[in-house]
Amino acid sequence: MSFMQTLRARWTQAGSLVCVGLDPEPAKFPAIFANDDDAVFNFCRAIADATAPYACAFKPQIAHFAALGAEGALERLIAHIHARHPGVPVILDSKRGDIGSTAQHYATEAFDRYAADAVTANPYLGRDSVQPFLDRADRGVVILCRTSNPGAGDLQDLVIDGRPLYQHVAEKVAREWNTHGNCSLVVGATWPAQLKEVRAIVGSDVPFLVPGVGAQGGDVEAVVTHAKSADGAGLMVSSSRAILYASKGDDFADAAANAARELRDQINRFR
């Protein structure tokens, strides 16, 4: 199945809109990994296995692996998720965006090297910078629109023809770039009013990846109320640190599972 088909099936089968972020930081790992030469893989694998029943997607952040020289661990982790949890899609969070052959190589990296089901992409350089991702009709392209960070408004809120730039991005992606129906948008939980605006622009067919709940303080009720699609789905509500590091003890995996389940249940109360 394509990324979108797999995601929609997962929403239904798991009853969950939780996207579990996999952002390894060895300094935060439990003590049992202190002498583990393969700690990045083993920690992330344990988290994935524990939280899979409550996840609609996993989202490994490539920089957290690359900074540690752990790209091999990332490859093995995605392969493990596909083998052990085949119904849960993997979004490679790399925020790529470039032109020409470089863009093509980034698409090859995400989809062929890492075998990700979807990738995050930056639209700032225009359509040709994401076209190699868009051309892979079976894979997802999750395009930055209104991000969760405090400085998002520096550029994304600039007014062009009477509307902020992020609204133009949303409209262009939904009306022009989504020819294969494989586009999603990143809209941060920290901006609930903007979530509502973007949903009104794109309708129910474009899913949102929503970072910013948990450690960043986004309000779950506001996110779901303003951004869910007509069928009560349409969202991948991403949480990383609050799930990954729910405990520093030997019970870290059970604590992560509990945190993911609690977030799932909290989201479902407002669907």
Residue 17, amino acid = L
Give me the pLDDT at residue 214, please.
64
The CA R_g of the chain, rounded to the nearest whole Å, is 18
Domains and CATH numbers, the chain: 3-268 (3.20.20.70)
Query: Which residues, other chains included, contact 185 with Cβ-Cβ below 8 Å and sequence gap of 6+?
Result: 142, 143, 144, 145, 169, 170, 173, 198, 202, 206, 207, 208, 209
The pLDDT tens digits of the residues spanning 225-270 come to 999 999 999 999 999 999 999 999 999 999 999 999 999 999 999 9
End-to-end CA gap in the chain:
26
For the chain, how many residues are written?
271
Give me the pLDDT at residue 124, please.
96
Q: Which region holds residue 234: left if phi is over 0, alpha if psi is between -120 and 50, else beta?
A: left
Q: Is the pTM here over 0.95, yes or no?
A: yes
Give me the pLDDT at residue 216, please.
63
Give me the pLDDT at residue 213, please.
84
Q: Long-range contacts for 69-73 (Cβ within 8 Å, ≥24 apart)?
A: 70/24, 70/40, 70/41, 73/38, 73/40, 73/41, 73/44
Give me the pLDDT at residue 148, please.
87
Residue 52, amino acid = A
Residue 34, amino acid = A
Residues labelled catalytic: 95
Catalogue the E-assigned strands of 83-219. Answer: 91-96, 118-121, 140-146, 159-160, 163-164, 183-187, 208-210
* Mean pLDDT (10-residue bins), the chain, 271 residues: 97 97 98 97 98 98 98 98 98 96 98 98 97 98 94 95 97 98 95 92 97 77 94 96 96 98 97 92
Give me the pLDDT at residue 154, please.
96
Residue 153, amino acid = G
Geometric angle at alpha carbon 208, from 40 and 167, rounded to 5°: 125
